[in-house]
Homo-oligomer: A and B are copies of this chain.
Amino acid sequence: MPYEFKTERRVEFADTDMAGIMHYSNFFRYMETAEHGFYRSLGYSVVMNQFDPPVAWPRVHAECDYFKPLKFEDLVEIQLLIKEKRSKTLTFCFRFWKLGQSPAIEVARGLLTVVCVTHQPDGSMNAAKIPQALAEQLEVAPQELLE
């Protein structure tokens, strides 16, 4: 499914804080790990040197809504969904599902907007069109999965 990717992760001790729950900043690390796993599932690394010129994906916006805490050793599924696809940017939605009970509980939901860039010889970056071979593999998720 080119609009979705799922990966699992178990909350580690170092992910927690003294409140006994996963630190809120680590949800953003988990999102990125899902994003990169998604690229790998399509045959790419986020370091996309197979394109000429190579492209990179700086983040321009990130957000997260927290519904329930995650605790040490909780098993969580991170569901990546493509929410928006423009010529130069992608917006991913991430739904965090705590597993281990039925049905799984959505504990958080995030958004991440990344922009496709190429590097200039002087080191600066320019927004660039998403390479066509990649763009053709990406599809916006059905609206009902995003609600």
Contacts and interface: CB of A to CB of B under 8 A. Distances in A.
Given A14-B23, A32-B12, A58 B63 contact: no
Copies in the complex: 4
Nearest to A39: B73
Contacts of A26: 25
A72 B32 CA distance: 13
Given A47-B72, A66-B60, A33 B12 contact: yes
A49 interface: no
Contact of A63 (B16, B33, B63, B72): B63
B59 A62 contact: no
Contacts of A61: 63-66
Given A18-B17, A45-B73, A12 B36 contact: yes
Interface of A: 12-14, 16-21, 23-26, 28-29, 32-33, 36, 40, 45-47, 56, 58-66, 69, 71-73
